[in-house]
Structure 1
């Protein structure tokens, strides 16, 4: 069983490296990978919220509201009101690259 775990781990590492290369072929591949990531993370959060104690669910709900909804709202407002054209695209790219880099496998 340990051998299977190692093989699956190696496959996961290869796939993780390839995720960072997905912007090279085009926007559709990036959207597909990110869309799947959103779906997977949403399932994780929902499962956590189902099984977590009430106090932890409330705390997590507040954090999700502040970080996910609040950050998205602020990003949309700032980029729509203060930036335009290529500058807007670059700013959104940097805002998305920061959290993505933080979640990269170590």
Structure 2
């Protein structure tokens, strides 16, 4: 009984902190709404975050036991990420809008449909939950590893302007809560990816301590590389000679499990 109560406490704290992380991009999308343009922001972090939330929600529904707190936070994650994506599509220029729609269809519809088919038709019995769990682990690991690029940028520019301490702290706390929750309910698929999240969060805070008194301004060259910080670190899309956006591969993102 004590273990279940402790797990519930960590799960509630994980929900609360993850809620704040999910809400952190609101200023970005408020800016997009006011300017009626997405500027240099990229949609890929939100598409990946939506896929991760969707897979974890499916995992929790299939698991059923000790899954209420996973269902609650990932249900919210699916809704808020979908709102972000719809907002992006509404105000993005033509090229970025078309790319976002294509990625959404391939990744979030096609990819999730593929997982559904594999889990329901190719896997049988208790193996379904195990296979789905490890798929969730892989997606979460990809999400957690993405901040490596922004950390490299901090080392290069010797500036933490694009890696706020508060965000790194909350992401680290989120990883701790969900790791503890996963261990207490004996679900390693929940616990394992948060080990990566915790280590990277600590490393981000160490870098912040090293470079917090570094350059406060941003050089023109740095602005060409990085633009804004939110739980999904995003980078600019340069323009061609005609002023049309040229989309490049996304470089960084963060997302709670």
Structure-2-length-normalised TM-score: 0.31
> Whole-Å Cα distance in 2 between the matches of residues 82 and 61 of structure 1?
29
| CA RMSD across the alignment | 2.1
Query: Does residue 90 of structure 2 align to residue 88 of structure 1?
Result: no
| 1:97 CA drift (Å) | 2.2
Query: Does residue 52 of structure 2 align to residue 50 of structure 1?
Result: no
> Whole-Å Cα distance in 1 between the matches of residues 125 and 131 of structure 2?
10
SS in 2 for 1:84: coil
What residue in structure 2 maps to residue 76 of structure 1?
Answer: 116
> Whole-Å Cα distance in 2 between the matches of residues 38 and 99 of structure 1?
15
Higher helix fraction: Structure 1 or Structure 2?
1
What residue in structure 1 maps to residue 247 of structure 2?
Answer: none
What residue in structure 1 maps to residue 80 of structure 2?
Answer: 40
What residue in structure 1 maps to residue 17 of structure 2?
Answer: 15
SS in 1 for 2:132: helix
Which residues of structure 1 form unaligned runs of 5+? 1-13, 17-22
What residue in structure 1 maps to residue 21 of structure 2?
Answer: none
Which residues of structure 2 form unaligned runs of 5+? 1-15, 19-59, 145-170, 172-200, 202-257
| 1:26 equivalent among 66, 69, 74 | 66
Structure number with the bigger relative contact order (C-alpha 8 A, sep ≥ 6) is: 2
Structure 1 stretches of at least 4 aligned residues deviating more than 3 Å after TM superposition: none
What residue in structure 2 maps to residue 59 of structure 1?
Answer: 99
Count of paired positions: 86
> Whole-Å Cα distance in 2 between the matches of residues 81 and 42 of structure 1?
28
| 1:48 CA drift (Å) | 0.5
